[in-house]
Amino acid sequence: MTATTNTIAKTRTNSKTAVSTQAEVSRGAVATMVGAGAVVGLWSFASIVGGIIVAGGPISLAQSWFGAIVGM
């Protein structure tokens, strides 16, 4: 006599990836603000360096700036 054994193996996998949409939007907004801040910072640095070069040095730039503010 032969005995037949049927074994049914069921494997269930439930993986829920609940990523909040608001968290993704916030992450994108922060990245955009950091990028914009970096661009503004680099632009300001380039402008100050350009002003120093055109004025003939940092002391001359400060004198010219003060003269423009005071009106002399």
Note down pLDDT in tens along the chain; length 72 residues: 566 666 666 677 666 666 677 778 888 899 999 999 999 999 999 999 999 999 999 999 999 999 999 987
Are 33 and 39 in contact by the 8 Å Cβ rule? The answer is no
Would residue 61 count as lying in a domain?
yes
- Cα dihedral value 41, 44, 49, 51, nearest 10: 180
Would residue 46 count as lying in a domain?
yes
Would residue 33 count as lying in a domain?
no
Distance CA 21, CA 25 (A): 6
Distance CA 23, CA 35 (A): 18
Predicted TM-score (pTM) of the model is 0.57
Q: Total domain count for the chain?
A: 1
Would residue 45 count as lying in a domain?
yes
Distance CA 23, CA 11 (A): 33
Query: Which structural domain, as residue segments, surrounds residue 72?
Result: 41-72
**Which long-range contacts does 52-56 make (Cβ < 8 Å, 24+ apart)?**
none
Would residue 9 count as lying in a domain?
no
